[in-house]
Amino acid sequence: MPSDLETAMELLIVVFHRYASADGRAGTLSRRELRQLMENELANFLKSQKDPGAIDKIMKDLDANGDGQVDFEEFVALVVGLSVACEQCYKLAGKKINK
């Protein structure tokens, strides 16, 4: 049986490819695919972004090699960044993370 962490890693890969294969180049997220992913999978984070151009900014930040597509490595940087922010929120709120 896979561990929790292995399951989390597998899910990252599965979710990325679910959206990356929606149109055009499979294996990378276009701007449209990134928007879909964020609207469906990161709705709470997106709601907290008051800026209507948030997706464009995120896309620009993530697209490290500037090819207009977000590959898995670039996508993971977003997840890591959000995870670090979440972990800090947990600490501030003094919540117990153990589940």
| Tokens (6 digits) for 91 | 């600490």
Site residues for Ca ion per CB under 5 A: 63, 65, 67, 69
Q: In b/e form, how buried is each residue of 1-20, taking b as 16+ CB within 10 angstroms?
A: eeeeeeeeeeeeeeebeebb
In sequence order, the 6+-apart residues with CB closer than 8 A to the CB of 63 are 69, 70, 74
Quick one: 33 or 63, whose CB is closer to Ca ion? Answer: 63
Shortest distance (Å) from residue 48 CB to Ca ion: 25
Quick one: 61 or 87, whose CB is closer to Ca ion? Answer: 61
Quick one: 81 or 90, whose CB is closer to Ca ion? Answer: 81
